[in-house]
Structure 1
Amino acid sequence: MLDYSQGKGEFKNWIISEVDFSSNALGKCEAIMSLGNGYMGLRSVTEEPYIHETRNLFVSGTFNKAAENEVTELPNLADVTRLDIRIDGERFSLELGQTNNYVRQLNLKTAELIRSFEWTSPKGKELRFLFSRFVSLDNLHLIGMKMEIESLTDPVEISIDTGINAQMSNSGCQHFLEGERRIYNNEFIQLIQTTTESNIDVVLNTTHKMKVNGKEASNDSEMHMARRKVWQTYQFNLKPNDKLEMEKLTTVHTSRDKEIPQEGYDLQKLRDDSLRALQSHVEKGYDTLFQRHKDAWQRKIWDKYNFELVSDNDFDELALRFSLYHLTVMTPAHDERMGIGAKALSGEGYKGHSFWDTEIFILPFFIFSNPEVAKSLLMYRYHGLEGARRKALENGYEGAMYPWEMAWPTDGEVTPEFGDIDIVTGEQTKIWTGFIEQHITSDIAFGVYQYENVTGDKQFMDEYGYEIVFDTAKFWASRLEWNEEKHRYEINNVIGPDEYKEHIHNNAFTNYMAYFNMKLAMRYYDQLKKENPLLLQSLGRKLDLDEMYSLWEKKAKRLYLPNPREEDSVIPQDDTYLQLKQIDLTKYKEQDTVRTIYRDYNPEQINEIQVTKQADTLILFYLLEQTFLADDERISEAVKRANFHYYEPRTLHDSSLSLVTYAIVANDIGEEALAYRLFEKSCETDLGPMMHTSDEGIHAASIGGIWKTAIFGFAGIRLVNGKLTIQPRLPKHWKEIKFTIHWQGQPINFCITPTTLTVEAVYKEKFVFESYGKTYECGDFIEVDLSEDVIKNS
């Protein structure tokens, strides 16, 4: 059972707690309490083993393809967290004996996992346990663990097996060759793993320090080695009130690390250097290393983002801190060759692959809050141009056609071909997204546009950004199909964001975003022609831009963009959606778990029903309102309102990406109470009471969406055609929200209450923003009246 009220004093609304242990519901806390630093992610499995546990340790970018019939995925590294503990010769488990005062907590502020309880053995002996763990933000390669066992009543014999266990897999799939193992001086353990296809070396080192009653104990232990495993056994006899302490420090390094040279790589040097690094950590000890880690979190994260929320519902502030925490631990800010997985680094779901989730739901946070990281994420897409161009050629197109699922940048498309069971035929269902869900290409172009407008980073655009936009627009020009009968270009046989509709024609989202992509390319072409003709010349030779410009102009003008219907202003999601049969969706709308519709229908049947998986047409309004298309009458406020009320009753929110879009749009159209309910429900995707929603990992896009809803929805921060607009509409029970965003290279501090907007330019550089129809220039500090009368008359 989860409890969010355990944080007191300085840690109020910082603590996520599990206050009742169940070996049948392990995955939830393993995922939502996972630790990481962007370089690696460690699932927060218990130290002692259980049947239904999932032990995961991932390092970003170490993708491997285990066999010809598999797709590449992040391999599950050797486990260093398991401790086989025996009490008086019997296996320690919370399924045995009696447990009292159990609590497992993730402190979001310090990024430390703590678990404590009192336990009575089957023989009636009482002991107290305390486990602590962190993955360092100060040193990306370091994992720290600590254990305390105190005998409360009787003499007790304790035995502990601890080391490195490489007998791990990805759901049964093995990614590593058998590697060399060694124990140095009965003190330092080293194990080597090498991926079977990508040939990446992983070097893990670990060591232990034992104390009894505060005094360092002898390091004598039994040394063991088995297939893919090396460990030590420690034994202690405790008297009543004796306390055993163990510190375990581990380092993880790989040959894919950015600092490892591509030429002249030497595994032995990596082994030696990583071992020396661990030895230097040992001299400092757990407490000092943890303090450095805690200081790094305060300095790099909490001070930088400067977030505070005063709400009548404490859960709101905790949920937003949870979002900031996981946005940090999931993001490989250290290396531009790496992206963010849909389940982050917290589980095996989606195999560590990156989707459109990044550009639409996660990247905006970094663009506005940490532009350097945003640039790194966009560089990942730039490095992916090679794979995108290859995919376009393989499908008979030109330009860059981005993979629906992306792993290592040059891998190209890595979407699996088959998925869940078809409940009608009993066969595997075909996964079509990798073939025909193509809007990701223009989603990435939108990410470049948003980054350029918010940051003003011309160097990025000159060296990378323009090329991405031009080449993606080139793809769309080759992708459009001419309909001679209707004298227009169309986009047929696609999947839009609503993945319950396959092989449909003229998905509104896909068509409008392709149109945006081509129009954006034309604008950039015209801009460079005036401002940087030499760069345009260079890119023109590489991408045939003169010829492409005329094609974009011709095809964008004739591309079919579904118009709002005259009778109700609803934009057809695709050519047939509005003609499909309607059924009573009540039981699916009220479901406790997602995708229950698949228990009654297979994909072909769902394709024939007027039902939507997630926000599709609705997200179009939110995105295009930020662009130079903002004044297009087809995405006006009235049309947005009509489409919200039409599509929301038909949307099951069977993707964690859906709720946040509907929440933002609901707030925009004045449905504040509904907006907050949708926001709360999106927070509960991972933090809610259902104990199996996160078994395969956290929902990375949903977590990014929590922040989006608060800042871009309730606080009203928006990019609108190159301008910063601020139109807050806070939930009724929010008293104050503070945060920092970056605009055109300058941090801007905001404080918003129901009646005032306070804006501070940190560098005292003048900038302009709009709020409720009025334009303000701020070069220092400004306060804006948000009283109802002022807003009503604006």
Structure 2
Amino acid sequence: MKPLYLTVTDKHIKYSYEDLDTKTTIDKVYNINAAKTLGENLDNFKTKLPNYFDVVVILNPIDVELRDTIVSCGNQPIDMGLTMENLLHIPTVGVHDVARLGIKQAASAEIEHAGWHLDYYGSYSKKRQYGQESLQTIGNGYFGLRGSYVEARETDDYYPGTYVAGVFDQLTTNINNRDIVNEDLVNLPNAQFMTFSIDDGDPFNLSPDVIENVYRSLDMRTGVLTITMIISLPNGKRLKVVTKKVADMKNYHNYSLQYTVQPLNFSGEMRIFSEIDGSIENANVERYRSFNGKHLIVDDTKVDGNRAILLAHTKNSHVNIAVGTRIQCPNIDGSELSSNRFQEKIAQSIGFHVVEGRKYTVEKTVSMYTSLETDSSLEFAVNDHSHHKNFADAVANSMRCWQKIWKKVDIELSGDITAQKLLRLNEFHATVSAQEHVNKDLDASVGARGLHGEAYRGHIFWDELFILPYYTMHFPDLTKHLLMYRYNRLDAAKDYAEQNGYKGAMYPWQSAMYGDEQSQSLHLNPITNQWDPDNSRKQRHVSLAIAYNIWNYYNMTQDNEFMKQYGLEMLLNIAKMWISMSEYDPQTKQYSISNVMGPDEFHEGYPDAKDSGLKNNAYTNIMTSWLFNTIHHLLEIEPQEVIDENFKRADFTKDNLNDMKNIGQDLKLEFNSENILGQFEGYFKLKDIDFDYYRRQYGDISRMDRILKSEGDSPDKYQLAKQADTLMALYNLTEKNFMDILDQMGYPIENPEQFIKDNVNYYLQRTTHGSTLSRIVYSMLALKVNDTKLSWQLFYEALTSDYYDIQGGTTAEGIHLGVMGATLNVVTSYFAGVDFRGDQLVVEPHFPEAWNTLAFNLSFHGTRFYFRVSKESVIVKADHAAVVKICGQQISLNEDEEKTINYEPLVAES
């Protein structure tokens, strides 16, 4: 191996390594600049290093109990292992582990650990702590339990939120004599609360001042979150507290806690406290706190020995909720249990004698039921539920389920320890947000922030477009259950279209419990603290995203029954809406679609226009034409009786068919003289903007809309974009399909390669990447023009966007599920190159230079495929006979036959 040895102090980093050319040992010192942040120092330190190391060894760790890589640096303890792995993407180990295992085995063990664990060392506060809680959320598709300390109550530093899929409630708040109605994903009663007291003292109150040391570790392989704290109290008493949490993946109504205390320098009396707190409110998002967040009414509290139940309901949606707990003390003799019932909470405590050095454990099982998925008495369901016997049973259930899940979904990556961890983190949170055997019982879809926080109020957006393909690759039945959420709200979408003067079905930009529009008409600008008009509901392309997901699911699964019963009916109704929105101009002999917004979101209308909305948004028009083509294709292959039945249910006529043909061929697009496709009609009349000027003024210009509005200006006046818009269809569609549609619409492209290159470069110069989705879409677009360096940069920014919370605190309010799904898709479909959008799998790798191999599975047309891709070869295997096109070759596979295809690499610079 090629190790880099580090000795880290508060003032400098001594480092040594072997020079590959001279075979001599190089010893150097990097002096820490006290005027710079630790991050800035380490970034500068990285520039001093050669790039051939494959392991870092820390020679002077100060703590081997929690981890063998903790040092004092810049006058603060840090885990240099985590820091160097994030910096260099190679394993980092401590000298004690090397002495115990040898350097190769220690490095191998660390690669294994780092690839499966999300770890945090130290105590944090405010949005940084909130963000870490989001990323250490555990769950099982039914609920999400934020990764807070169990001792925490809701403050600006900690937020122990609990969310069950589909549980929403509407409340009205009067602000400035205006009634504002918001529908929120409800923060349910907090049943994870546990803390302790010593010798009749007050219950321990979580505070960084008394946390001597803390390590939080999420094991993604098993779903267990472990928090280890060394606590030094003001009275001099020290104790170790280890908390473990696990969501039961089998009995999905349950989660389990294990709370272990160990007095380190005292003996005496201790008491462990447990609560079910129904007094909580929705308060995760600071800018929402001026709104009413008290959604729960507690109906009853009951205690029966070691069991407790809190019964409640939501104020206006009238969802009944039961939360039950059961407390056990597996290794405590002579304990005394007491209980107190209050109007909105239940408090229980266990008293016992402790001896210095011994460990004492209390376990708590929590069950949650709601009237949305449970027909019987909720109190009966909680009491009758076959709880796992103890915490170990819950872990065993979770491990068995996760083992099956990881066997299907795991992307195994070699050559990049950070990317491996974060790809698995994305897959982990996709599973926390929805799960096959859970969602079959639910009427719910996945919100843009998962079940991890309260941003966007838990609503469902077009982000389904970016996450459902991942589910379809591995759990097609899950995608079907999620699409049924949309089918069950088809009538609401029809009502919404009618309310706006259209026919067919128009799905809302923001959807929650009922499928009505939940977008606000006003938006709070955090720069000015003023309310600005919010026209985001005009992003009618959400209906196109739903149509795309229906088609993609059908194309990958060939589920004719779904298309017959549900899918085609939705597609026809969505098509009717676009037909009714299309207007014919007899002078130009073209159709236009007006009063919409594109994915960009910065442009809500034309400069100084009284009414909002844009005309002929390129993405909307291209995808509408695609939808019409797709329906025509389906009508060619579906049995006539299926067509007749769906036409009847959708009230779809032959005139509508003719309209689709005419409109799809003549929807208007706008091009400039250099063959740049306009984002919308009139786009090229807008002014250019000097981004450098605003960077000097504001630094971060990702939200130029807010900046301009704070200056009394408007983004409507300028050629700028928050995220991919004009070229977004190239993310959805194959390049050939995209070009065929332009040709069909009357805009043939003579040189597609040059066209894409010119347009990608044009819009990259005008995009601020105000959405993390922007980076991942442009990463794919950059690959299309062979700008592999830019592609890699944007991909890595997207991959690490929640991990580093690059949007300045938004991860505190929940993960960004869309970009998580999109990164997984880019890795398998673009870097590994496995494209599933046609009649067969087509493989064209663009493999990153920094990586060694990628291995993964996916399901296509009922066949499970295994791929192992490297810079020079593709290994493929299938569980049924199949044909795959790899690098231009048609490869025939027999059942369980493995083949290796070598290719000339087109590598992505990194």
- The alignment's TM-score, normalised by the length of structure 1, stands at 0.91
Q: What is the aligned-residue identity percentage? A: 26
- Distance in 2 (CA, whole Å) between partners of 1:594 and 1:118 is 40
1:516-553 Cα deviation digits (max 9, x unpaired): 1122222222333xxx1112222223323322111112
Matching of residue 508 in structure 1 with residue 618 in structure 2: yes
SS state at 2:351 partner: strand
Change (3 A) 1:597 1:790: closer
Q: Could you say which residue in structure 1 is the equivalent of 2:590?
A: 488
Change (3 A) 1:593 1:18: farther
For residue 148 of structure 1, the aligned residue among 260, 274, 289 is 260
Contact 1:673 1:731 in 2 (8 A): no
Amino acid paired to 1:309: L
Change (3 A) 1:789 1:47: closer
SS state at 1:8 partner: helix
- Distance in 1 (CA, whole Å) between partners of 2:490 and 2:122 is 48
Q: Could you say which residue in structure 2 is the equivalent of 1:472?
A: 574
For residue 23 of structure 1, the aligned residue among 92, 115, 125 is 125
1:290-319 Cα deviation digits (max 9, x unpaired): 1121111111x11122431112x2111111
Q: Could you say which residue in structure 2 is the equivalent of 1:309?
A: 413
- Distance in 1 (CA, whole Å) between partners of 2:700 and 2:197 is 40
Q: Could you say which residue in structure 1 is the equivalent of 2:754?
A: 638
Query: How many residues align structurally?
Result: 763
Contact 1:148 1:246 in 2 (8 A): yes
- Distance in 1 (CA, whole Å) between partners of 2:132 and 2:905 is 47
State the shift of 1:156 in Å.
4.2
- Distance in 2 (CA, whole Å) between partners of 1:412 and 1:39 is 23
Change (3 A) 1:298 1:253: same
- The alignment's TM-score, normalised by the length of structure 2, stands at 0.80
- Distance in 2 (CA, whole Å) between partners of 1:94 and 1:248 is 20
SS state at 1:769 partner: strand
Change (3 A) 1:368 1:49: closer
User: Which sits farther off after the overlay, 745-754 or 444-453?
Assistant: 444-453
For residue 191 of structure 2, the aligned residue among 37, 61, 80 is 80
State the shift of 1:789 in Å.
8.1
SS state at 1:116 partner: strand
State the shift of 1:203 in Å.
0.7
Matching of residue 702 in structure 1 with residue 810 in structure 2: no
State the shift of 1:497 in Å.
0.2
Q: Could you say which residue in structure 1 is the equivalent of 2:641?
A: 534
For residue 150 of structure 2, the aligned residue among 26, 35, 47 is 47
Between the two structures, name the one with larger relative contact order (CA 8 Å, sep ≥ 6): 1
1:558-616 Cα deviation digits (max 9, x unpaired): 211334x442x321111232332222224559956852652453496111122110111
- Distance in 1 (CA, whole Å) between partners of 2:645 and 2:842 is 36
- Distance in 2 (CA, whole Å) between partners of 1:105 and 1:437 is 40
Q: Could you say which residue in structure 1 is the equivalent of 2:350?
A: 234
Matching of residue 11 in structure 1 with residue 113 in structure 2: yes
Matching of residue 412 in structure 1 with residue 516 in structure 2: yes
- Distance in 1 (CA, whole Å) between partners of 2:620 and 2:713 is 21
State the shift of 1:387 in Å.
1.2
Contact 2:507 2:515 in 1 (8 A): no
State the shift of 1:624 in Å.
2.6
SS state at 1:140 partner: coil
State the shift of 1:44 in Å.
1.1
Contact 1:106 1:114 in 2 (8 A): yes
- Distance in 1 (CA, whole Å) between partners of 2:643 and 2:489 is 22
Q: Could you say which residue in structure 1 is the equivalent of 2:724?
A: 615
Contact 2:572 2:652 in 1 (8 A): no
Q: Could you say which residue in structure 2 is the equivalent of 1:196?
A: 315
The equivalences for 1:63-212 within 5 A come to 63-67=168-172, 69-88=180-199, 89-93=201-205, 95=207, 98-171=210-283, 172-184=292-304, 186-211=305-330
- Distance in 2 (CA, whole Å) between partners of 1:487 and 1:444 is 30
Contact 2:152 2:159 in 1 (8 A): no
Matching of residue 754 in structure 1 with residue 871 in structure 2: yes
Amino acid paired to 2:811: S
SS state at 2:182 partner: coil
- Distance in 2 (CA, whole Å) between partners of 1:445 and 1:750 is 29
- Distance in 2 (CA, whole Å) between partners of 1:670 and 1:247 is 55
Q: Could you say which residue in structure 1 is the equivalent of 2:428?
A: 325
State the shift of 1:10 in Å.
4.1
Q: Could you say which residue in structure 1 is the equivalent of 2:764?
A: 648
Amino acid paired to 1:297: W
State the shift of 1:413 in Å.
1.5
SS state at 2:779 partner: helix
- Distance in 2 (CA, whole Å) between partners of 1:722 and 1:473 is 23
Contact 1:627 1:720 in 2 (8 A): no
- Distance in 2 (CA, whole Å) between partners of 1:470 and 1:432 is 26
- Distance in 1 (CA, whole Å) between partners of 2:805 and 2:620 is 36
Change (3 A) 1:194 1:625: same
- Distance in 2 (CA, whole Å) between partners of 1:627 and 1:379 is 31
For residue 388 of structure 1, the aligned residue among 493, 497, 510 is 493
Q: Over aligned residues, Cα RMSD in angstroms?
A: 2.4
SS state at 1:180 partner: strand
Contact 1:626 1:721 in 2 (8 A): no
For residue 548 of structure 1, the aligned residue among 652, 656, 660 is 656
SS state at 1:71 partner: strand
Amino acid paired to 1:773: G
- Distance in 1 (CA, whole Å) between partners of 2:380 and 2:349 is 25
Q: Could you say which residue in structure 2 is the equivalent of 1:59?
A: 164
- Distance in 2 (CA, whole Å) between partners of 1:117 and 1:686 is 25
Change (3 A) 1:47 1:350: same
Q: Could you say which residue in structure 1 is the equivalent of 2:99?
A: none
Contact 1:163 1:189 in 2 (8 A): no
Q: Could you say which residue in structure 2 is the equivalent of 1:354?
A: 460
Amino acid paired to 1:713: Y
Contact 2:255 2:394 in 1 (8 A): no
SS state at 1:154 partner: coil
State the shift of 1:790 in Å.
11
- Distance in 1 (CA, whole Å) between partners of 2:397 and 2:445 is 26
- Distance in 1 (CA, whole Å) between partners of 2:729 and 2:490 is 25
1:158-184 Cα deviation digits (max 9, x unpaired): 333312000111135111223110101
Unaligned runs of 5+ in 1: none
Contact 2:340 2:346 in 1 (8 A): yes
- Distance in 2 (CA, whole Å) between partners of 1:597 and 1:462 is 44
Contact 2:525 2:706 in 1 (8 A): no
- Distance in 2 (CA, whole Å) between partners of 1:178 and 1:445 is 41
Q: Could you say which residue in structure 1 is the equivalent of 2:502?
A: 397
Q: Could you say which residue in structure 2 is the equivalent of 1:773?
A: 888
Contact 1:310 1:317 in 2 (8 A): yes
- Distance in 1 (CA, whole Å) between partners of 2:303 and 2:206 is 31
Change (3 A) 1:157 1:579: farther
Change (3 A) 1:789 1:594: closer
Q: Could you say which residue in structure 2 is the equivalent of 1:579?
A: 685
SS state at 1:144 partner: strand
Contact 1:496 1:507 in 2 (8 A): yes
Amino acid paired to 1:413: E
Matching of residue 364 in structure 1 with residue 469 in structure 2: yes
State the shift of 1:230 in Å.
0.9
Q: Could you say which residue in structure 1 is the equivalent of 2:834?
A: 717
1:737-761 Cα deviation digits (max 9, x unpaired): 1100111111001111111111111
- Distance in 1 (CA, whole Å) between partners of 2:688 and 2:407 is 51
Change (3 A) 1:524 1:444: same
Change (3 A) 1:511 1:195: same
- Distance in 1 (CA, whole Å) between partners of 2:359 and 2:515 is 52
Contact 2:581 2:594 in 1 (8 A): no
SS state at 1:192 partner: strand
